[in-house]
Amino acid sequence: MICVNFLQPVPCDNLPHRFPGLLCMRFCRQFLFAAAAWLVTNTAVAVDLEKGKEINGTCAACHGDQGAGGKKGEYPRLAGQRAAYLERQLKSFRARTRINIPMFPYTQERELSDEDIKDVSAYLAGIELSNRMPTYTGKEDALTRLLMAEKVMIIPRAEGDLANGEAIYQKKCAACHGKSGKGRGMFPVLVGQYTSYLKRQADLYLKGDRPHDEEGVVGVLNTLKEQDIQDILAYLTSIQELSE
Mean pLDDT of 101-111: 84
Sequence-ordered list of residues with C-beta below 8 angstroms from that of 1, at least 6 positions apart, any chain: 11, 12, 13, 21, 24
Q: Inform me whether the pLDDT recorded for 26 exceeds 60.
A: no
| Tens-place pLDDT, residues 13-22 | 444 444 445 4
* 194 in Cβ contact with 76 (< 8 Å): yes
Supply φ then ψ for residue 187, to 5 degrees: -90, 135
Q: What is the pLDDT of residue 58?
A: 93
Band of pLDDT at residue 244, cut at 50, 70 and 90:
low
Q: What is the pLDDT of residue 4?
A: 40
| Tens-place pLDDT, residues 90-105 | 999 998 888 888 898 8
Is the whole model's pTM more than 0.75, yes or no? yes
Q: Please give the share of the chain, as a percent, with pLDDT higher than 90.
A: 59
SS3 call for 11: strand
